[in-house]
């Protein structure tokens, strides 16, 4: 038994992890692999955000009980600038975690379900500067009995010009001043609607000062001015059922892209044009496999993966620039219609192992980050465009 004192176990990286790859596509047909130190040994990508003004990107990864914040520049090389890691006491893989980069400030918000607090961290040092107590917020609005539910579904964003954070707590939207929980208010309560609805996620666009809130069968828009909430709008799409997920949102062009699950892993793509008082739903692509996609709001195009008859995979794009003029949609139309939008090939995919079932994509500055994943759960997929976005 004394011989066990010198017994050592050498842990090795699993063989399939050595096959992990990531690409950066720079224009059609041009790509290179990202450095191993950047993409391979820092864990599973959980979320990513880009700071347009500062030209920086932030990625959240997890490997075991280690959560890492990875700061990089948004140049073609995506050079790593800083990495800061924290230990999570409870590292249950399905725990809810969220990161939100405040585009109008040099800070970001971070939350992990194992702690009942939202952390505010410096974008330069990646270290925590202060926090918002979730239990205190729930107590203020008589929501303590829903605390476990809230911890598993919490979403939030920063309303920068007001110096406030908007929280999604048990179907309530709450605005709270960053340095004072006492200065908080309910701006929307979903339970007051006549229809049965459940709020699932939110995203704020600081340039247009618009908040998008995602429900089971509806989308809600909230506009803000210098004083606070200025207007709200409900966009219903219950005619498509509940098997829908967000593909992208373009607040400047005023449309939302969604996917509707039809059978197995196949989906139909829809565009909700809400520029007019009567939103119009356009069905533009049918029967696409659930493999991966992302929306580039700067160039107004959707990336998706097309599988040919020979099982070869290509990344294709749909451009929505001036689509109303191109497809003569400025005239009154029926509420639901079908239009075959033009598509273009962006690049063929290089040979990739069949062990990968989903492909994570993120577009910025005419470049496309592409990472194959071995699997993805439905909950993560539902709000992926909120997690990996500008």
Host H or E run for residue 380: helix 378-382
CB-based contact 252:321 (threshold 8 Å): no
For residue 379, pLDDT beyond 80: no
Question: What are 249-264's pLDDT values in tens digits?
Answer: 999 999 999 999 888 8
Q: What are phi and psi of 380, to 5 degrees?
A: -65, -40
Cα 95 from chain centroid (whole Å) = 16
- Region 172-187: what's the mean pLDDT? 87
Cα 211 from chain centroid (whole Å) = 14
Q: How confident is the model at residue 383 (pLDDT cuts 50, 70, 90)?
A: low
Q: How confident is the model at residue 42 (pLDDT cuts 50, 70, 90)?
A: low
Tokens 């340095």 belong to 179
Token pair of 150 as six digits = 């809230």
CB-based contact 23:29 (threshold 8 Å): no
Question: What are 129-165's pLDDT values in tens digits?
Answer: 999 999 999 999 999 999 999 998 899 999 989 999 9
CB-based contact 143:153 (threshold 8 Å): no
Compute the Cα dihedral for 191, 194, 199, 205 and give only its sign. negative
- Region 381-389: what's the mean pLDDT? 66
Q: How confident is the model at residue 29 (pLDDT cuts 50, 70, 90)?
A: low
* Residue-level pLDDT at 84: 94
Q: Is 160 left (phi over 0), alpha (psi -120 to 50) or beta?
A: alpha
CB-based contact 263:273 (threshold 8 Å): no
- Model pTM above 0.85: yes
* Residue-level pLDDT at 243: 73
Question: What are 67-121's pLDDT values in tens digits?
Answer: 899 998 876 556 789 999 999 876 666 788 889 988 778 899 999 998 899 999 9
Distance CA 147, CA 140 (A): 12
- Region 371-376: what's the mean pLDDT? 77
Mean pLDDT check: name the lowest of 17-26, 41-50, 284-293: 17-26
Question: What are 288-314's pLDDT values in tens digits?
Answer: 999 999 999 889 999 999 988 888 889
CB-based contact 266:288 (threshold 8 Å): yes
Residue 351 makes CB contacts below 8 A (sequence gap 6+) with: none
* Residue-level pLDDT at 344: 94
Beta bridge partner(s), residue 358? 373
Distance CA 310, CA 317 (A): 20
Q: What are phi and psi of 8, to 5 degrees?
A: -125, 145
């Amino acid at each position: 038994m004394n011989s066990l004192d010198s017994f050592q176990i050498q842990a090795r990286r699993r063989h399939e992890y050595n096959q992990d790859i990531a690409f950066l596509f720079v224009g059609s047909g041009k790509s290179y692999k990202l450095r191993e130190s950047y993409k391979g040994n820092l864990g599973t990508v959980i979320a990513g955000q880009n700071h347009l003004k500062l030209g920086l990107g932030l990625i959240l990864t997890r490997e075991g009980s280690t959560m890492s914040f990875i700061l990089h520049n948004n140049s073609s090389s995506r050079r790593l600038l800083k990495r800061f890691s924290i230990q999570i006491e409870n590292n249950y893989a399905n725990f809810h975690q969220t990161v939100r980069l405040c585009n109008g400030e040099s800070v970001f918000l971070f939350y992990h379900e194992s702690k009942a607090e939202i952390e505010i961290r410096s974008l330069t040092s990646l270290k925590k500067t202060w926090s918002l107590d979730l239990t205190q917020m729930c107590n203020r609005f008589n929501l303590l009995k829903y605390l476990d539910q809230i911890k598993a579904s919490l979403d939030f964003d920063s309303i920068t010009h007001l110096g406030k954070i908007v929280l999604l707590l048990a179907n309530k939207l709450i605005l709270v001043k960053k340095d004072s929980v006492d200065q908080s208010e309910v701006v929307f309560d979903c339970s007051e609607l006549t229809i049965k609805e459940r709020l699932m996620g939110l995203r704020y666009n600081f340039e247009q000062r618009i908040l998008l809130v995602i429900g089971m069968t509806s989308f809600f828009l909230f506009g803000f001015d210098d004083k606070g909430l200025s207007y709200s709008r409900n966009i219903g799409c219950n005619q498509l059922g509940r098997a829908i997920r967000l593909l992208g949102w373009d607040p400047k062009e005023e449309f939302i892209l969604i996917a509707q699950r039809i059978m197995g892993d196949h989906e139909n793509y829809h565009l909700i044009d809400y520029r007019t008082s009567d939103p119009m739903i356009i069905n533009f692509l049918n029967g696409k496999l659930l493999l991966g996609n992302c929306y580039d709001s700067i160039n107004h195009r959707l990336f998706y993966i097309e599988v040919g008859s020979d099982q070869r995979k290509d990344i294709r794009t749909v451009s929505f620039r001036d689509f109303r003029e191109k497809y003569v949609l400025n005239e009154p139309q029926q509420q639901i219609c079908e239009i075959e939008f033009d598509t273009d090939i962006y690049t063929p995919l290089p040979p990739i192992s069949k062990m990968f079932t989903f492909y994570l994509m993120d577009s910025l500055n005419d470049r496309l980050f592409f990472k194959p994943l071995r699997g993805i759960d439905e909950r993560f997929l539902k709000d992926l465009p909120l997690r990996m976005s500008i």
